[in-house]
């Protein structure tokens, strides 16, 4: 090979490697945006794409939790409520008629997009956990632990009463 072609060949190889690198790393930085349909407390659909909210787990739509109903000095009585439906409905009210932008992180085993979603610039995943409507899903992420601790400390949502962690509830109710 002619010596004057070596620098050109090296630049072409370098350019090809850059293209490969950026195409691989950007495959999960894809954004999906539009009006969202709420499926449950941690799943939405935008333009036909099912999106599982990253790093959080909300009660299932048919899951029941308990909240204090009556307290008499040393005894507290609890009343069951549909915590899964409550999370679903409050999420629906929170994002209603707004453009939602989701930043894809990965695909899950059900081939759903796993993403962090935003209403304007507000992290919806964090909002759910911060308000006690979902918990940090530590198995997959540590991102929302502080939000969970804040909700727990302030006894918001799920943390005001008794509940079974969503992943444990699903195991029992297959």
Could you tell me which of 50, 84, 53 has the C-alpha nearest to residue 170?
A: 84
In this prediction, residue 25 carries a pLDDT of 42
In this prediction, residue 73 carries a pLDDT of 75
In this prediction, residue 74 carries a pLDDT of 79
CA 129: distance to chain centroid? Answer: 9
Render each residue's pLDDT in the chain as its tens digit; 174 residues.
Answer: 555 545 666 666 655 554 555 544 444 469 999 999 999 999 999 999 999 999 999 999 999 999 887 767 777 788 999 999 999 999 999 999 999 999 999 999 989 999 999 999 999 999 999 999 999 999 999 999 999 999 999 999 999 999 999 999 999 998
d(CA 145, CA 15): 41
In this prediction, residue 4 carries a pLDDT of 54
d(CA 3, CA 166): 65
For the beta carbon of residue 140, count every other beta carbon within 10 angstroms.
Answer: 16
In this prediction, residue 59 carries a pLDDT of 98
In this prediction, residue 12 carries a pLDDT of 64
Strands (E) across 2-137 are located at 31-40, 43-46, 49-53, 56-57, 65-72, 75-81, 99-107, 113-119, 122-123, 135-136
Domain formed by 31-172, architecture: Beta Barrel (2.40)
């Amino acid at each position: 090979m002619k010596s004057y072609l070596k620098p050109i060949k090296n630049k072409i190889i370098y350019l090809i490697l850059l293209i490969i690198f950026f195409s691989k790393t950007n495959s999960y930085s894809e954004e999906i945006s539009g009006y969202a349909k709420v499926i449950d407390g941690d799943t939405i659909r935008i333009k036909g794409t099912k999106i599982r909210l990253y790093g959080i787990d909300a009660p299932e739509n048919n899951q029941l939790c308990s909240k204090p109903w009556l307290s008499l000095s040393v005894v507290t009585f609890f009343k069951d409520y549909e915590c899964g439906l409550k999370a679903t409905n409050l999420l629906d009210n929170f994002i209603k008629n707004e453009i939602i932008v989701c930043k894809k992180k990965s695909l899950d085993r059900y081939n759903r997009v796993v993403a962090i979603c935003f209403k304007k610039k507000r992290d919806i995943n964090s909002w759910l956990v911060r308000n006690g409507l979902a918990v940090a899903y530590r198995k997959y992420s540590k991102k929302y632990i502080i939000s969970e601790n804040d909700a727990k400390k302030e006894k918001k949502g799920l943390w005001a009463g008794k509940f079974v962690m969503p992943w444990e509830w699903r195991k029992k109710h297959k």
